[in-house]
Amino acid sequence: MKQAQLSRPAAARRLAPPPRAQRGVVVFIALIVLVAMMLAGIATLRSSGSAILTAGNLALRQSATIAGDLGIETGITWLRAQGPVTLEARNPGRGYYASFNDLEPPLPTGQQFDPYLWGEANWRDAAKAVQVNSGALDAAGNRVSYVVHRMCRLAGAVSGTGAPAGQECVTLSDPGKGGPKEAGTFAFTGTSQVYYRITARIEGPKNTVSYVQTMVY
């Protein structure tokens, strides 16, 4: 009696080796990739946060610097309204000092005004510095104050018989001659002028502090 022949698929299954048990290698690799992607995402998030914080700080600093123009212009307006004799004497209540060494509190002799060494309490003292808009914050949250120093070694007259002994001043002497002040054959004329240094201090949001200085005559 003939034996029934097995079908081809059944024979193939019987001849094929048994499948090997899975060891979870693919899952392990996938977990490693996921951890790496997570770390990369965290690093990107932190980098973006730092960039945003830096941009915000730069914006606050720029805003504070721009606000300093208000202090400078206020100081210039006050200077223009004063007479030469008035500017020979100190007036701390208006933030004015007749010499660059005349400070509150005084620094060692010969040491020029340093806005960083002048404490915050002095800048906010109405008897030593001028608070623009009475110290009120502007629309951007900045508080502006300023002081003016005459660029002379001593208070008193700049020159002549009334000038104190050893007086030295930074002046613009005969501004009508030479250099860029002359155009063609026509030159501007003028007399000797004393320089004044205006220092503005701006307190902004998030403890932002900026200083702006300018020289005028």
Identify whether the C-beta of residue 192 lies closer than 8 Å to the C-beta of residue 174. yes
| Residues 23, 189: Cα–Cα separation, whole Å | 96
Residue 99, amino acid: S
| pTM for the predicted model, two decimal places | 0.65
Hey, what are 168's tokens?
């030295």
pLDDT at 33: 80
Residue 107, amino acid: L
| Residues 36, 30: Cα–Cα separation, whole Å | 10
Nearest CA among 138, 139, 65, 135 for reference residue 95:
135
Helix, strand, or coil (residue 98): coil
Q: Are strands 96-97 and 143-150 parallel, antiparallel or unpaired?
A: parallel
> How does pLDDT run along the chain (217 residues), one tens digit per residue?
555 555 555 555 555 566 565 566 777 787 888 888 888 877 777 766 666 666 556 666 677 778 888 899 999 999 999 988 889 998 988 999 998 877 655 555 555 577 777 778 888 888 889 999 888 888 888 889 999 999 998 888 888 888 888 888 888 764 444 444 444 444 444 445 889 999 999 888 878 888 889 998 8
Residue 162, amino acid: G
pLDDT at 190: 43
Q: Which residues contact 50 (CB under 8 A, 6 or more apart)?
A: none
pLDDT at 183: 46
Taking 3-state DSSP, the helix, strand and coil percentages for the chain, each rounded to the nearest 5, stand at: 40, 20, 40
Hey, what are 178's tokens?
């030479």
What confidence tens digit (pLDDT) does each residue in 48-72 have? 666 666 655 666 667 777 888 889 9
Nearest CA among 150, 142, 136 for reference residue 95:
150
What confidence tens digit (pLDDT) does each residue in 117-134 have? 777 888 888 888 999 988
pLDDT at 77: 92
The neighbour count for residue 196, using CB atoms within 10 Å, is 22
- What are the extents of the domains in the chain? 26-216
| Residues 55, 71: Cα–Cα separation, whole Å | 25
The neighbour count for residue 61, using CB atoms within 10 Å, is 16
Helix, strand, or coil (residue 213): strand
